[in-house]
Amino acid sequence: MPTIIGTDIHQAADFLRKNETVGIPTETVYGLAANALNEQAVAKIFEVKNRPFFDPLIVHIKDVSQIHLFAADIPKLALKLAENFWPGPLTLVLKKQNIVPDLVTSGGDTVALRMPNNEMTLELLKQLDFPLAAPSANPFTYVSPTSAVHVFDQLQGKIPYILDGGSCKVGIESTIVRVLENSLEILRPGGISEDALRSFLPDVQIFGINENISSPIAAPGQLEHHYSPFCKLYALEDHIKLDVQIDAVIYWSKKSEKLKDSGAQNFYFTENGEFSEGSKNLFALLRKLDKGNFKNVLFEWAPNENLGVAINDRLKRASAKRSSII
């Protein structure tokens, strides 16, 4: 099938009404969207991405009030979070309503909901009378796409349309939280930092990413090896132990202390160490290295605070060995 890249929201909506999948821009990464309430449409997402069915999808909605259509027994805390952080990179895991197909939730009784912060996609959602299930628009386990061309590079011929909304402003996936009556559990670090959640909710108990109270099943699909480029990534501090020829080094910032005489080409996540710039550049840089045929790449971790936590989570998985699946 021919794949069109365009800015025609009506055309994108028509394909979605016909149960096709469409690449959509969001502030986090590009999504591969389909009608979340139609199992046949949702099945196409898994097929195009080669995604295993145990990995549930996030459902994208057009406004806060739609929470009630797809989630049940909603804690007040969830509404408070939605009102404050939506549209934005925060996904809420809540008890699901029956209307949400099992395929979307991998058979579980919870659904992950989010209102994305992208004008084109919000307009698209307004034109539709169903929400959109959308994981990142890339083959399973590869680097997430942050531009329409990234989506085209890998999914051309497999999807009819990519809605081009420019490059993603946040560049890293949403923070996923499970919301209970008076506590929160961060299941995946992402575009809203733990600090931002804590300062918004000073009186609420927040379980950070390293102190999850639930079993690993709470965030299925979080693989140890994920977001992975074809080149091999190694943490900078491990370079002494390596006996491979390093051909590129990605430093956190232009101001980072450089390796002497490495002979490798230097890249930077950021000019001056700003987290938002680092998250915006992360995936595009990994894709650029693959396009440039780099084979062995060292990277410097981000400072492990603020959005650096989510960036380091992605770098950890991107550099994990391919056999290691939790």
Interface residues toward ligand AMP, by CB under 6 A? 55-56, 58, 93, 105, 108, 110-112, 135-136, 173, 176, 187-188, 218-222
Closest distance of CB 295 from ligand AMP, Å: 27
Torsion of Cα atoms, 279 then 283 then 289 then 295, to 10°:
100
* Nearer to ligand AMP among residue 110 and residue 118 (C-beta): 110
At 119, give phi and psi (nearest 5°). Answer: -60, -45
Q: Are 161 and 4 in contact (CB under 8 A)?
A: yes
* Nearer to ligand AMP among residue 141 and residue 262 (C-beta): 141
* Nearer to Mg ion among residue 227 and residue 268 (C-beta): 227
- Picked from ligand AMP, Mg ion, none, the partner binding residue 117 (CB below 5 to 8 A depending on kind) is none
Give every strand in the sheet of 31-35, ordered side by side.
Answer: 4-6, 161-163, 22-24, 31-35, 132-133, 58-60, 110-114, 90-95, 175-179, 183-188, 205-207
Using DSSP, state whether 80 is helix, strand or coil: helix
* Nearer to ligand AMP among residue 52 and residue 292 (C-beta): 52
Q: Considering only residues 51-110, where is the footprint of Mg ion by CB under 5 A?
A: none
Give the tokens for residue 123.
Answer: 């307009």
- Picked from Mg ion, ligand AMP, none, the partner binding residue 55 (CB below 5 to 8 A depending on kind) is ligand AMP
At 6, give phi and psi (nearest 5°). Answer: -160, 180
Buried b (16+ CB within 10 A) or exposed e, 10-19: eebbebbeee
By the rule CB under 5 A, 146 interacts with Mg ion? no
Q: How many residues of this chain bind Mg ion (CB under 5 A)?
A: 1
Q: Are 263 and 244 in contact (CB under 8 A)?
A: no
Closest distance of CB 148 from ligand AMP, Å: 18
* Nearer to Mg ion among residue 81 and residue 318 (C-beta): 318
Task: Please identify, among the stretches 3-11, 87-95, 134-142, 296-304, the one whose residues bind Mg ion according to the rule CB under 5 A.
Answer: 134-142
Q: Which residue is nearest to ligand AMP (CB)?
A: 221
Task: Please identify, among the stretches 111-119, 132-140, 188-196, 255-263, the one whose residues bind Mg ion according to the rule CB under 5 A.
Answer: 132-140
By the rule CB under 5 A, 306 interacts with Mg ion? no
d(CA 137, CA 31): 5
Beta strand 183-188 with 175-179: parallel, antiparallel or unpaired?
antiparallel
- Picked from Mg ion, ligand AMP, none, the partner binding residue 38 (CB below 5 to 8 A depending on kind) is none
Q: Is 301 exposed, middle or buried, given 0-12, 13-18 or 19+ CB atoms closer than 10 A?
A: middle
By the rule CB under 5 A, 136 interacts with Mg ion? yes
Give CA separation, 226 vs 139, 172, 177, 318, 325, in Å.
11, 13, 20, 5, 9
Closest distance of CB 273 from ligand AMP, Å: 26
Task: Please identify, among the stretches 9-17, 43-51, 130-138, 202-210, the one whose residues bind Mg ion according to the rule CB under 5 A.
Answer: 130-138
Q: Considering only residues 246-265, where is the footprint of Mg ion by CB under 5 A?
A: none
Closest distance of CB 117 from ligand AMP, Å: 15
d(CA 158, CA 272): 39
Q: What are the beta bridge partners of residue 163?
A: 6
- Picked from Mg ion, ligand AMP, none, the partner binding residue 220 (CB below 5 to 8 A depending on kind) is ligand AMP
- Picked from ligand AMP, Mg ion, none, the partner binding residue 163 (CB below 5 to 8 A depending on kind) is none
- Picked from Mg ion, ligand AMP, none, the partner binding residue 111 (CB below 5 to 8 A depending on kind) is ligand AMP
Torsion of Cα atoms, 38 then 39 then 45 then 47, to 10°:
-150
By CB under 5 A, name the binding residues for Mg ion: 136
